[in-house]
Structure 1
Amino acid sequence: MELEEARQLWHRLSEQISYHNQKYYVEDSPEIDDFEYDELYRRLEQIEGQFPELVTPESPTQKVGGEALNKFSPVIHAIPMESLHDSFSGQEMKDFDRRVRAAVGNPTFIVEPKFDGLSVSAEYRDGVFVRGSTRGDGAVGEDITENLRTIRSLPKKLTQPIPFLEVRGEVYMSHRSFFKLAALQELEGEKPFKNPRNAAAGSLRQKNARITAARELDIFVFNVQQVTGTELHSHKESLDFLKKLGFAVPPFYRTCNTIEEVLEEVGRIGELRGTLDYSIDGAVVKVDSFSQRQMLGSTAKFPRWAEAFKYPPEEKQTKLLRIEVNVGRTGALTPIGIFEPVELAGTTVSRATLHNQDFIEEKGIRVGDMVVMRKAGEIIPEVVGVVCHTEDSQPFTMPEVCPSCGAPVVREEGEAAVRCTNPECPAQLLRHLIHFCSRDAMDIDGMGPAVIEQLVEKHLLSSPADLYFLKKEQILELDRKGEKSADNLIAAIDRSKANDLYRLIFALGIPHVGQKAAKLLSARFRTIDGIFQAEEDALASVEGIGGIIAQSVLQFFALSNTAHLIGRLKDAGVNMSCLTAVSDSRFQGKTFVLTGTLPNLSRAQATELIEKHGGKVSGSVSKKTDYVVAGEDSGSKLTKANQLGVAVISEHELEEMLGENS
């Protein structure tokens, strides 16, 4: 390869790797798996080895993967949080052993699992936890102290009052917690995290520590970064020391004196992967002696005294026997492949999602095919591709009606998913009920997912309308429901009958109809019957609705199931009329944008005030915006308003504009 050709390839690979670093480390939404990423990275390393003149400080090989996000305060790491160099074969591990021995003689190694989570630092003064941060780019991370406080397995006070201690660990989410979170996200109509690593990273970077606390994160601590008040001479000694202080250290690690022992332990850890409740993607081999580590030093990115062995994804061939279609709790139809059982990463696999029709066509999958399977992130089975079509293989197409209830299915423009149109479809009942009762919908206090799930399991709820016919004695049958809580829940259900119409419209879960569109429909047509009788042109003519929403509303109210549901809600005494009256039209034709934290009003209260006086509240600033109402910590919306010359007012000025009506 000539230099110019190598330079072009270097630029192409650098751009790809930088893009995937951003998706993995910063956005927590990787688009390729670790194996594909490692292949790109190793190719770049090979080119730079052959053409050293191409190496720059900005090369991905010279930087730790992540970067500090601007939503958290930066933390400068006194001791850099380095990355590890990866090996993928026994020969590469032997090369590492040879380099170490050439520098320090006869080392002792510690071999431990390489956890697949988010690397963090935790600092303690006088034995008390004072600060936590992410690795970031290795030199600067993010302050996530409050979020780390929510992790129960991280001690907040050590068993000894060490003057100062900084440790490094890996925050992870157990497989049990991951599947629990994924089920909840599906129930609430959210996009589930792809794997436990992304779930842990996304949970740890929440601005609201309460969300982090609810995600059930854990941590393994495996390194002492800095310490005063004691002397440590080896890694083994430091792990024992950390354990005495109350930290959760790697649950197994082995001392090895030869490369043969190292490779044996690396193989043993690899065989354990499928039996663990947390994800590991390799094994880490570290020189035990701290004095020898000092002699070995580091490169610009990696310590020379440690090496990570990365396990390749295990792939096996099997036969696709048939495809079943499941209806998810969001109404999405998902094809599930049923395969001849195969052993993968320590477990027997016979089922895997085939995602959607597009995925099946893209991979060329037919029933009866021999396919290659592997586990993504060592946890979720996936089809990599087709090996060959058998003589009797058959193409597959998604059904035209829901396999659960028989209602027609639709595929919205721009969506890959096919969805059931029935609002009372049994397969998506739980998700509909949770949405119906949620704060922004009918706001039934106390009717959370756990209570709804119990009611469904006891066959007391098969439709949102059933909520309004529940009896106190039925609620008393639920776990941890006494007289008072049962009375409170019945009262909350009863109060929700008086809600404004827009809440009911939003609660119905009409595709594409959010709270804002629900308010527009309520204000324009005033009653549920008015919406029932509206033609598509009338719906589309409402400012802020448009053709897609109008068609979705029309289709929803044309269903016999919808008429049945509304009829039962009417019989229960649920309000079907718009209660929001426009006090006056002083803000008619005016568009407001809210930004920052207002001193007295919540966003919802400010929006209600503006809409009550004929105004419109938008989520983004443009030349058509008339006023931006700015509070504390206003961000990019305020900047854009100033750039466009849009009038910026305070909450007080908004109240002055309203006069006595405020």
Structure 2
Amino acid sequence: MQDRPQVDTLSEAEARAELADLAARLTAANSAYHQKDAPDLSDAEYDALKMRNAALEAAFPHLKRADSPSDQVGAAPADGFTKVAHAQRMLSLGNAFSPEDVQDFDDRIRKYLGLTADTPLAYTAEPKIDGLSLSLRYEDGVLVQAATRGDGQVGENVTANARTITDIPQNIDGAPDLLEVRGEVYMSHADFDALNLRQAEAGAKAFANPRNAAAGSLRQLDASITRARPLKFFAYAWGVLSKPLAEGQMAALERLAGFGFSTNPLTKLCQTPEDMLAHYAEIEQQRASLGYDIDGVVYKVDNLALQARLGFRSTTPRWAVAHKFPAELAWTRLEGIDIQVGRTGALSPVARLHPVTVGGVVVSNATLHNEDYIAGRDAKGGEIRGGKDIRVGDWVQVYRAGDVIPKIADLDLSKRPESTERFAFPQTCPECGSAAIREEGDAVRRCTGGLICPAQAVEKLKHFVARGAFDIEGLGAKQVEQFYRDGWIAEPGDIFTLKARYGRGLQQLKNREGWGEKSAENLFDAIEEKRRIGFARVLFSLGIRHVGEAASNLLARSYGDWASFSAAMDAAEEGSEAWETLLGIDGVGAVMARALTTAFAQEAERASIDRLTAHLEIIDAERPSASSPVAGKTVVFTGTLEKMTRAEAKARAESLGAKVSGSVSARTDILVAGPGAGSKAKKAAELEITVLDEDGWLALIEGA
């Protein structure tokens, strides 16, 4: 392998190109090893490439690719696997890192459900297995399908491989007609060591860790390879069911154990947050002797009826949280502070560190958040770290707590060189030279260059093609950078004219490095497929500050179609009826509203949006339940609700297709008024709006 220059001597363009090369080489190496069992790199060559990739990502975190080798577990999904759409999404968990976070979790649950602090509320606590999530579908007691989690909505069909795992029953007596069991595939330390010994004896590459070995083994195209790997399975949850397993989480796990599944023996029923923390400490003490990898403890509300009431956020359940084990710490020297510019113009300081190993990973950089954090202040001006500012040359403590980018926890003033000076945060953008302004109340300084700032333009384009946005197959961060650098695209709308502008596109593109006739045709076909796209995806793809996926879905449901939304943004000057309507959407505040109206009011940005939408057929937002009696109606809740909390009522209304507003206007259809309703009830009467009490509301939506 040829020698490569030192990371700290590379320009951003050179680092970007090298990361692309490393991604291609490591992906090919993973495929050769994990899918074909025919490694084409020696251990030393492979490890050197992985370390180089990690060092580059640490030094240039904003350049980390969507297909980064550091995020790959074994091989990427193989073409030989068919896709499985999960009938019920497989979500991730929110995280807790401290006793205070656990208490906050309990407080949030109680607030949502309207429970007092002394109301009994039980939780289960179980080890969080560091493995690969798997879903098992049984029909009439027979295993008919096994699927990986994938992206949570679509996974890979690994049924043949799952049948080789002895912990997974092939047939179940007494199970519901339809039963989807969820759990974690893992490998014990002893089996992992034995497998690596066999690999060494066979002259094959050793696996890096048990999770990597388990993931690579489960995703083999040849099930006989999986059969030869010592995989195990812990069941801890379920998906779709034809009949409930039990009334509580703990009882349901016992039922699964009765069906022949392995459930974790350290799972315990806890009555208070104190009980949960005590069990967490007990599991942490046993961690080294368990014989398999865990990275925390998962707490779940035990009562399944309460789980149903609590429901889900966009990506996580409200009724569960993962309490991660403490971060691992290390001390090193701060060698420099770099300023990077994101797609919203934010100037982000990054610490350049002398490389140090933290939690088994070589770390060369860490986030410094913002200029206040460097100066030793919090967002309100109070002291952090005892008011100690961070300077180049300082001896700093670095930690990782499940984060992609490490952080600096503290610094040692006794080792500070006498020659150091306070860090002067730049007042101009390092990319384009435009003024960098920090607005009142904002913790971040931002470049005012907008579209003339190359960093913002490229990052906005990357966001546009990302998952959750347009997600155009074959057009990722690497291709966006290439096309932008060569002048092929400067804004999102240019993507949809590529083929027309370049002699129907094919001839010029297929002659470029990395492209052939087939890949060029596939790209243009993929672009054509995305001309018809949903309202929420279009809005999210624009990368408007403060408008994420959840907000985009909320706004799409509220306005229904793009034309109505666009017209509303044009009319939404502060104080206008359109502005009040926008603010009346529950979940939209003044900050988000200003970000939206500003984006649509800026001449250059609006023109860019219009050029994009001219190429699209934007699908109207789907209503969650078009047949429900409140679908499409605007509902306002006021007063005290006695049978549900306000948050629960809002979530239920939105699930039935209603728009929930925080204020009464002529557009309000229903006011649900509990005891203590005041001015809103009076205004509703004046506007002759339908007013229901809580019982009336529940009767209206019953069965919907």
**Greater C-alpha Rg:** 1
Does the pair score TM above 0.5?
no
User: What is the TM-score of this pair, normalised by structure 1?
Assistant: 0.40
